[in-house]
Amino acid sequence: MDISVDTGLLLAGILFLLGLFGVLMRRNLIFMLLSVEIMMNAAALAFVVGGAKWKNVDGQVMVLFILAVAAAEVAVGLALVIQMYKQFKTVDVKKMRKLKDE
């Protein structure tokens, strides 16, 4: 089953916008990390679609780099979330800002 380049890039754009909306609208740090992961996967999809259009494997190589960065981001991000929860007893960004100002 072949998917056209326009359809693949449209799907990548929609996924990226959903991730961006999640980062901007959510207050929970875990959901924010999840939204960043969705944005990274959208970029990976765009690279794969572009590589398939020009019959080049460079897009797939970039996906490997994106996966490595995503794995590192998850490890560091979750470690920070755990430390913030231990310190502030919440993962809500707005509550942490209020605690910082006090």
Number of domains in the chain: 1
CATH number (domain holding residue 40): 1.10.287.3510
Q: What digits encode the pLDDT tens for the residues 77-88?
A: 999 999 989 988
Q: What digits encode the pLDDT tens for the residues 9-32?
A: 999 999 999 999 999 999 898 999
Taking CA atoms, 61 is separated from 12, 28, 42, 58, 65, in Å, by: 17, 32, 15, 5, 7
Domain that holds residue 49: 5-101
More confident residue, 102 or 4: 4
* pLDDT on residue 3: 85
Average confidence score pLDDT of the chain: 91
* pLDDT on residue 69: 95
pTM: 0.87
> Are the beta carbons of 28 and 84 closer than 8 angstroms?
no
Confidence band for 95, pLDDT divided at 50, 70 and 90:
confident
